Structure 1
Amino acid sequence: MTPEQKAEIEAARAQSHQTRRATAPGMETHLYTAYPVLDHGFIRVIDYMGDDSAITQAARVSYGRGTKAVSNDEGLIRYLMRHWHSTPFEMCEIKLHVKLPVFVARQWIRHRTANVNEYSARYSILDREFYIPAADDLAAQSTVNNQGRGAALSGEEAARVLDWLRDDATRAYDHYEAMISQDGQQGLARELARMNLPANIYTQWYWKVDLHNLFHFLRLRADAHAQMEIRVYAEAICAVVKDWVPFAYAAFEDYRLGGVSLSARGVECLRRMLAGEEVTQESSGMSKGEWREFMGVING
């Protein structure tokens, strides 16, 4: 972060406001703190609304007598999560400031149930900051998953790839600066010059989302199979959410992050196995891909 950004955050953290609205003590400690992610990125909480009690309050309004058998807030939240009730979780919202590489942002923005305002390279000049992976994070294409990584690159190949990433990013930015410069020339418009920038350059945005849709984002992006570069952002957000709504996060961790979903065919196969039958991929009625995923669930 720049000295100016750090000073702005320190000034914001130094302020305190009296309020009658509910606050979450755990979240208050996170407000305006920037948590580093990757080599130049970060997340920080700008604002939030609601807490665990906002979820249960909304649920009791919505479902009335049907929730009276659940005697406490934690139990009710677990019931709501277990039975896929979504609207009570929408009563909580969070607004984050995120700095991230453009290629991660393009993956992130596929989650369309949020409000986003991104730094504009039409009006402003992007900083000379690029994401360069650590050598340990360079990997070959997976041979079993078209979306994943395989074995790590090593030796001369890894060094060559890192050199190309640094050199190409630097060269593209040099040309970007040269194109927009008005020193002895008209200078190309910023909105056109930005097309030459690489996908590993950093951008920033404000991202506001309700808790229900945030949990959906985290379920996919904090998963071990998610791309590492977006997973580390999701994990940083998880640490914040855990302090903000501890009951809701514990239920989410139990039923979503740590839980599994089986198809009707998978349930049938599991019952056959528990009954002592030897079930194979051929007798399961599943495709090879389905069987591999099913066995991954069974064997852990």
Structure 2
Amino acid sequence: MPVTPEQEAEIAELRATPRQTLRAVSEGMEKHLYEVKPVLDHGFVRVIDYMGDDAAICQAARVSYGKGTKSVQNDAGLIRYLMRHWHSTPFEMCEIKLHVKLPVFVARQWIRHRTANVNEYSARYSIMDREFYIPEPEVLAAQSVVNNQGRGEVLQGEEAARVLEYLKTDAARAYDHYEEMISQDGQQGLARELARMNLPANIYTQWYWKVDLHNLFHFLRLRADSHAQYEIRVYADEICKVVADWVPAAYQAFEDYRMGGANLSGKALECIRQMLKGEEVTQESSGMSAGEWREFQSVLNG
């Protein structure tokens, strides 16, 4: 199950006892506080706390730039200016704290983003739950033949059934042995910190993850991208929905300039200038490598 009965009771209690505050409040975020957003088969994301809103970003920017922002007519315009010109510090004035339940192999990808504060469930002190991520058949795919980091065609028929059976039985067997090793039923039992080494990478863990908005946007730009691994992308997609309600102006600018935009090299810009003049441009004349040229063509063709 995504949440335990104890967690459900805690969530209900927290949402039933609102408190008065003088701090900045985002009405869009308030509706998400503590609520569970299911992800994958047993995972979830939920907002535990947050700080700041769109106005906090502008407040910080105007302190920093002073008269330099007088030409900006409104907060949304200022935020778009900041995003467009890569002024990151004002976005760091907003923070979010998430409670995330996720498979261990997804957590190992996620933790590569080292700009957050993390506190994870400890298998040294506690016993891991018997919950494993088992993919839906439609996301079971073969290795891509063109991308070493990606997936190819979806497995079909007997091949898909064979792989699913391996995933289920191997996870169950590993957990059975884990339980037996730490058992106290008439035996000494192995220390939990050692027994955990036998657990599979698809077992679920949990953590609290606190990050500022600038670094969250960096995380989302990479992990909500269509090329990201499916199992981490679905978490990023849920977080995107929350952020869009929390800081709508900032999220709109992020979508336009980071998710929907493209970074072009000097050579690529020169090629575009030549194309606008009606000149023919080829990979050979562009000065780009074959890989750069393919990526450039992908940007132009959408």
Per the normalisation by structure 1, the TM-score is 0.98
Amino acid corresponding to residue 170 of structure 1 in structure 2: A
1:291 Cα deviation from its structure 2 partner: 1.6
1:81 paired to 2:83: yes
Pick one of 23, 26, 35 that aligns with 2:28. 26
Distance 2:291 2:125 in 1: 47
Tell me the residue number matched to 1:293.
295
Tell me the residue number matched to 2:145.
143
Structure 2 gap ranges (5+): none
Q: Which moved more, 1:265-274 or 1:198-207?
A: 265-274
Structure 1 segment 238-249 matched on structure 2, within 5 A: 238-249=240-251
Distance 1:160 1:230 in 2: 24
Tell me the residue number matched to 2:239.
237
Tell me the residue number matched to 1:197.
199
Tell me the residue number matched to 1:129.
131
1:47 Cα deviation from its structure 2 partner: 0.3
- Post-superposition CA distance 1:54-107 (Å, at most 9, x none): 000000000000000001101000000000000100000000000000000000
1:3 paired to 2:10: no
Cα root mean square deviation, aligned:
0.9
Distance 1:16 1:135 in 2: 42
- Post-superposition CA distance 1:18-51 (Å, at most 9, x none): 1111100000000010000000000000000000
1:290 Cα deviation from its structure 2 partner: 1.5
Amino acid corresponding to residue 202 of structure 2 in structure 1: N
Distance 2:170 2:67 in 1: 63
1:274 Cα deviation from its structure 2 partner: 2.5
SS at match of 1:4: helix
Tell me the residue number matched to 1:108.
110
Structure 1 segment 65-80 matched on structure 2, within 5 A: 65-80=67-82
SS at match of 1:42: strand
Distance 2:53 2:257 in 1: 19
Distance 2:216 2:87 in 1: 14
Distance 1:253 1:60 in 2: 23
1:185 Cα deviation from its structure 2 partner: 1.1
Pick one of 256, 259, 272 that aligns with 2:258. 256
- Give me the identity figure in percent: 80
Amino acid corresponding to residue 275 of structure 1 in structure 2: K
Tell me the residue number matched to 1:181.
183
1:159 paired to 2:161: yes
Tell me the residue number matched to 1:39.
41
Tell me the residue number matched to 1:13.
15
Distance 2:147 2:291 in 1: 10
Distance 1:23 1:70 in 2: 24
Distance 1:272 1:151 in 2: 39
1:289 Cα deviation from its structure 2 partner: 1.8
1:277 Cα deviation from its structure 2 partner: 2.9
1:194–1:14 Cα change, 3 Å: same
Pick one of 65, 81, 84 that aligns with 1:63. 65
- Post-superposition CA distance 1:100-128 (Å, at most 9, x none): 00000000000000000000000000100
Q: Which moved more, 1:126-135 or 1:280-289?
A: 280-289
Amino acid corresponding to residue 35 of structure 1 in structure 2: K
SS at match of 2:186: coil
Pick one of 89, 101, 115 that aligns with 1:99. 101
Q: What is the total number of aligned residue pairs between the two structures?
A: 300
Amino acid corresponding to residue 14 of structure 2 in structure 1: A
Distance 1:272 1:141 in 2: 39
1:281 paired to 2:270: no
SS at match of 2:61: helix
SS at match of 2:35: coil
SS at match of 1:238: helix
SS at match of 1:96: strand
SS at match of 1:80: helix
